[in-house]
Amino acid sequence: MPRKTDTRQRMVRSAARLLRRQGYAATGWRQVVADSATPWGSQAHHFPGGKEQLAAEAVTLSGAGYERLLRGVLADTHPADAVIAWADAAAAGLESSGWADGCPVATVALETAHSSDALAAACSAALATWHAALATSIVEHGAAPAEASALATLVLAGIEGGLLIARASRDAEPIRIVSRELAAVLRARARATAAADGESGGHETVGA
Amino acid sequence: MPRKTDTRQRMVRSAARLLRRQGYAATGWRQVVADSATPWGSQAHHFPGGKEQLAAEAVTLSGAGYERLLRGVLADTHPADAVIAWADAAAAGLESSGWADGCPVATVALETAHSSDALAAACSAALATWHAALATSIVEHGAAPAEASALATLVLAGIEGGLLIARASRDAEPIRIVSRELAAVLRARARATAAADGESGGHETVGA
């Protein structure tokens, strides 16, 4: 028999998979228990805060997994190239899952952000870690922190929206188009920063 | 007593409001009937295709309303300024609704795109009309059609993603940041097009 701790982890992992595909309202305890092959009744013991607690933990788990994926894509690469690679991987995931597996937190965020403090906080925290990963990489490639933060917001929003459009249209082309446009923006900004840096002797933008 | 046709329209309008706020799975017939103050039982008569049919019509209605709004924002304005105005209006709507009223089709799209042909088609059609409105405006301001289409995809994805991040973080700043970045991209492209146009004597990019 699985250990208690294993039961709990399996429920969170199942919830994370189901929330990504179908969202919060459509995901019930019955399905989580069946999908995770855990005993009925254990949910009340492990999640006294109910489905909201389970979902918040699932979003946190998904967010951390996606952060690792994103940091892997960004490592030792210019962010412009990383955005293309990220979109390619996301497009492949969409296609292979029949347009089901997009962003692991977006559906829950849109369904519940206004009505659940716990879920809004979990979704927002996940998005913030992805934003930080992007902003750090953009700073490492020469941008000032404020500009890098704004560019990271643009990139994250663009990829999220691109995934949404791709899912609705059941066509990966929109996410690929968005990633090429974002890469062009990142390269143009890097060129502008390098030019300004050259003119000012290196003290104006880098390390600001 | 309201006419039959009125009953039907009121149900679609109520569904559109509810789907925008809480999504597809959380919106049941009971709530639509209560919200629209229509008689219980009329849903089977008016929507033989069930909740999926009602939701598809609601998404189509919302999509057309949002298209009018967007075309109004784009009229007689450079698309860069229109994107700022659009984001300001969207941010105001988010704030005044307690982060509930974002994109009217995004939640349904993410919940159902992989599982419902009818809803994916309705969401995709709505997004396509908004993309067309943006692309038309960008062409009118000098871009070649292919470039305008790619830029319109970037703008639409950025605004969708910006709304998502703003809702999750209950903070309008991300959507404003995204709109400023998108406006900068549109202005930079317009300058590049004008420069190329000047060099080539006006035949290369405008009207291509």
Query: Which ipTM score applies to this complex?
Result: 0.93
Question: Does the residue B84 lie in any domain?
Answer: yes
**Exposed/middle/buried for residue B40 (C-beta within 10 Å: 0-12, 13-18, 19+):** exposed
Q: Does B56 touch chain A (CB under 8 A)?
A: no
The pLDDT confidence band at residue A206, using thresholds 50, 70 and 90, is: very low
Cβ–Cβ of B107/A111 closer than 8 Å?
yes
Least Cα separation, residue B45 to chain A (angstroms): 26
Range of the domain at A182: 52-200
User: For a pLDDT cut of 90, what percent of chain B falls above it?
Assistant: 85
Spatial distance between the Cα atoms of B167 and A129, rounded to a whole number of angstroms: 16
Question: Does the residue A99 lie in any domain?
Answer: yes
Q: Give B13's DSSP letter.
A: H
What integer is the mean pLDDT of A107-111? Answer: 97
Cβ–Cβ of A22/B178 closer than 8 Å?
no
Question: Does the residue A105 lie in any domain?
Answer: yes
Q: Give A117's DSSP letter.
A: H
Question: Does the residue A8 lie in any domain?
Answer: no
The pLDDT confidence band at residue B43, using thresholds 50, 70 and 90, is: confident
User: For a pLDDT cut of 90, what percent of chain A falls above it?
Assistant: 85
Chain segment B57-66, per-residue pLDDT in tens: 999 999 999 9
Global confidence as pTM: 0.93
B26 → chain A, closest CA residue = A25
Compute the residue count for chain B: 208
Model confidence at B167: pLDDT above 70: yes
Which residue intervals of B38-116 are DSSP H helices? 42-46, 50-74, 79-96, 106-112
Q: In this predicted structure, what is the pLDDT of residue B174? A: 98
Model confidence at A2: pLDDT above 80: no
Place of tokens 């704004």: A150
The pLDDT confidence band at residue A196, using thresholds 50, 70 and 90, is: confident
Question: Does the residue B129 lie in any domain?
Answer: yes
Range with lowest mean pLDDT among A6-10, A87-91, B93-97, B196-200? B196-200
Cβ–Cβ of B181/A185 closer than 8 Å?
yes
Question: Does the residue A92 lie in any domain?
Answer: yes
Question: Does the residue B188 lie in any domain?
Answer: yes
Cβ–Cβ of B182/A154 closer than 8 Å?
yes
Q: How many domains does chain A have?
A: 1
The pLDDT confidence band at residue B127, using thresholds 50, 70 and 90, is: very high
CATH number of the structural domain spanning residue A144: 1.10.357.10
The pLDDT confidence band at residue A4, using thresholds 50, 70 and 90, is: low
Question: Does the residue B31 lie in any domain?
Answer: no
